[in-house]
Structures are given as C-alpha cells and as structure tokens.
C-alpha cells in the first residue's frame, strides 16, 4: 500500500478495526474510509454495492462481523451464522466487482477441529468436527476462508488474504455479560467485584483450559505486514498468534493483580469450559518476518486502563460487530 492509497476499514469502532485505524494512522496512511453500522449495513447487498461504487477503495480490511463468547454462540447460533455469511458474501462480491487490490479477511481459531494436536496447523482445517459450542460461527468463518481461495483461483488474481488470529483482546473489546470473550469477561467480573467490595467471585468453568491471546495492536500490525508482503504469501490462510499460552486460572490471577482485586476467585466447574486447549502454530507467517510485540501482562494492563476510563465515562459498548 502507498501512503495515499484509499483504504476501507470495515468495523472501525470494534476491537480489531479500531486497532487497525490507529496503526494505519501511526504509519502515515492518510486516505482511510470508514462507516458506522448506522451509516452502512454490511448485511444489505444494495448498501454495500452503493458504497463501493461511490468510494472505490483500493484496500479493504474486513474487521466487521458478529463475534462473542460461549454464551452468545450457544444462544444465537443462527444470528451469528447469518450475519457473518451475509457480510462476507456482500463484501467479497463488491471487492471483486470493483477490483480492490487486496482484501484482508479474518478467520478464528475455532475453525480447527476439536481434540487435534497442538499447536494447530493450517492444514488441520476441515480435518474433523469443530467444538459444538461455536459450530455455527466456525462454519461461517470456514466459508470465508474457502471463499478467499475460490475467488483467487477463479479470477487468477491474489486479491483475498485470509488471516486466522487467536483469541484477540484490547481496547474497544466487548465487555457485555452475554457477548464477551473470556479475557474481557474476567476483567469485567473482577472489576465489578472490586468496585462492589466483594471478597469472592465465581468464574465459569474449571479454569484449567489453555488459551493463547493476541493483543489487537499486534493483529493490526500483522494485517498491514500481510498486505505489504503479499507477493510472498501463498494462496492459503495464515495463523497469527502470540506463541504464548496460559490456563484461564492463570489469566484470572494476572487480571486480578492488574485490577487490584484481592478477593478469592472460585470456579464453577458445572459451567462449560469450551475447548481444552487452543494454541496456533504461527510459524508459516512468522517465517516471513512478522513477530508479535506485546506481552500478555502488558496487553492486559492497557486493556484494563481503557476499560476503567470508558467505564467511568459510561461509554462502554455492550454489543460488538467486529473481529
């Protein structure tokens, strides 16, 4: 991308989209186009067509979509499936029709089969059944990754890039009870317990599953790196992760220290754990020269600072449309 290239960041108010906006700005990219959900409904084909016809972006980062944790995935599977499939289909077709130079699509670590060897390699895709709690969302994401290859093959142009970040977190994350992922959910619950003066808090599951977390700024950096090194990419999806994993119990202890919560943390093992382990093998992408920069505790501190500031302003989002 050139510094004056026209870039559309879809989902710019969400977790990844806001990180992309900040990163692109810091690197001198000044011709950036955004639209809020109220201004442009990406599930509406006519609206997407009209936007692309008018704006003609050269590069697109598709950070818009519907995402959430275990509760949301189990409660609204059809909503997750329909929303993400609709957005993907509309934006892919528009990118092709208006000859976008590159579009970056984001998958999810839940696309990989449950119970497969760790760390998970790209070639495990569709080798077995996925975790039941996120099946509808995972299938939608698998469809998007498949679409990247299908469009590239049929058009003979390497227009679509598929990245698969592991569990992302950071400023502008979703901290709602129904829709949050584990890291943001634990931040909210421990902060609430601290503010209410409670001496104990109960968290879902056993606390034993292992998770890898990726700070949103690192995912944004990987996205820009991918576009600017597209000539070195194969027509496949690429895992991007931090390379570091910890148990949910260890995560909660770290968040408690950052948040200053000194009460007891208990675990409700009757609640679902989800996958026992989710670690990506990112060597295919890191071998190209990219590496994450943010340690987990550093990223948690930045996320908690943002959460605290926005909580005091009453400005926290409760539902997120963004990866």
Dmax over CA atoms of the chain, in Å, equals 61
Sign of the Cα torsion 192, 197, 198, 199 reads positive
| pLDDT tens per residue across span 217-273 | 999 999 999 999 999 999 999 999 999 999 999 999 999 999 999 999 999 999 888
Print the SS3 string covering the chain. CCCCCCEEEECCCCHHHHHHHHHHHHCCCCCEECCCCCCCCCCCHHHHHHHHHHHCCCEEEECCCECCCHHHHHHCHHHHHHHHHHHHHHHHHHHHHCCCCEEEEECCHHHCCCCCCCCECHHHCCCCCCCHHHHHHHHHHHHHHHHHHHHHHHHCCCCEEEEEECEEECCCCCCCCCCCCHHHHHHHHHHHHHHCCCCEEEEECCCCCEEEEEEHHHHHHHHHHHHHCHHHCCCCEEEECCCCEEEHHHHHHHHHHHHCCCCEEEEECCCCCCCCEECECCHHHHCCCCCCCCCHHHHHHHHHHHHHHHHHHCCCCCCCECC
- The pLDDT, as a whole number, for residue 319 is 40
- The pLDDT, as a whole number, for residue 313 is 73
- The pLDDT, as a whole number, for residue 318 is 43
Sign of the Cα torsion 235, 236, 241, 243 reads negative
Host domain of residue 54: 7-172+213-243+278-294
| pLDDT tens per residue across span 182-201 | 999 999 999 999 999 999 99
Identify whether 32 is part of a domain.
yes
* Domain total in the chain: 1
Identify whether 188 is part of a domain.
no
- The pLDDT, as a whole number, for residue 316 is 62
Distance between CA 202 and CA 247 in Å, rounded?
Answer: 16
| pLDDT tens per residue across span 267-291 | 999 988 878 889 999 999 999 999 9
Count of residues in the chain: 323
| pLDDT tens per residue across span 231-244 | 999 999 999 999 99
Identify whether 261 is part of a domain.
no
Question: What does residue 98 show for φ and ψ, rounded to 5 degrees?
Answer: -100, 15
Identify whether 53 is part of a domain.
yes
- The pLDDT, as a whole number, for residue 25 is 97
Distance between CA 162 and CA 238 in Å, rounded?
Answer: 6
Closest by CA position to 292, among listed 301, 307, 282, 300: 282
Identify whether 26 is part of a domain.
yes
Catalytic hit among 137, 169, 238, 307: 137
- The pLDDT, as a whole number, for residue 189 is 95
**Where residue 27 falls among pLDDT bands split at 50, 70, 90?**
very high
Q: Is 137 a catalytic residue?
A: yes
Identify whether 310 is part of a domain.
no
- The pLDDT, as a whole number, for residue 7 is 98
- The pLDDT, as a whole number, for residue 71 is 79
| pLDDT tens per residue across span 77-120 | 999 999 999 999 999 999 999 999 999 999 999 999 988 899 99
Q: Report whether pLDDT(161) > 80.
A: yes
pTM, two decimals, is: 0.93
Print the SS3 string covering 245-260. EEEHHHHHHHHHHHHC
- The pLDDT, as a whole number, for residue 323 is 34
Tell me what the pLDDT averaged over the chain comes to: 93
Identify whether 33 is part of a domain.
yes
Identify whether 105 is part of a domain.
yes
CATH of the domain at 45: 3.40.50.720
Percent share of the chain, pLDDT over 70? 97
Here the tokens at position 168 are 């992302």
């Amino acid at each position: 991308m050139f510094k004056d290239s026209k870039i559309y960041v879809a989902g710019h108010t969400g977790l990844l989209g806001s990180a992309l906006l900040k990163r692109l700005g810091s690197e001198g990219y000044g011709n950036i186009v955004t639209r809020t959900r109220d201004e442009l409904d990406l599930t509406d084909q006519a609206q997407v067509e009209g936007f692309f016809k008018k704006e003609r972006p050269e590069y697109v980062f598709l950070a818009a979509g519907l995402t959430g944790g275990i509760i949301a995935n189990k409660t609204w599977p059809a909503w997750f499936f329909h929303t993400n499939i609709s957005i993907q289909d509309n934006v892919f077709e528009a990118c092709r029709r208006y000859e976008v130079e590159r579009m970056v699509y984001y998958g999810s670590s839940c696309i990989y089969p449950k119970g497969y060897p760790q760390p998970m390699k790209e070639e495990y895709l569709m080798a077995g059944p996925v975790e039941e709690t996120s099946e509808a969302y995972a299938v939608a994401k698998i469809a998007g990754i498949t679409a990247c290859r299908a469009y590239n093959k049929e058009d003979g142009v390497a227009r679509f890039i598929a990245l698969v970040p592991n569990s992302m977190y950071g400023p502008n994350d979703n901290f709602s009870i129904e829709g949050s992922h584990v890291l943001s959910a634990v931040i909210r619950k421990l902060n609430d317990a601290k503010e209410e003066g409670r001496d104990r808090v109960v968290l879902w599951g056993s606390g034993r599953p292992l998770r890898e977390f990726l700070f949103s700024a690192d995912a944004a950096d990987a996205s820009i790196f991918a576009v600017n090194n597209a000539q070195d990419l194969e027509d496949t999806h690429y895992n991007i992760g931090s390379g570091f994993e910890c148990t949910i119990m260890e995560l909660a202890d770290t968040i408690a220290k950052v948040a200053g919560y000194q009460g007891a943390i208990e675990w409700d093992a009757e609640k679902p754990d989800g996958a026992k382990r989710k670690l990506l093998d990112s060597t295919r992408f890191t071998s190209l020269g990219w590496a994450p920069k943010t340690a987990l505790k550093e990223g948690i501190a930045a996320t908690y600072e943002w959460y605290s500031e926005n909580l005091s302003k009453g400005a926290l989002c409760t539902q997120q449309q963004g990866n």
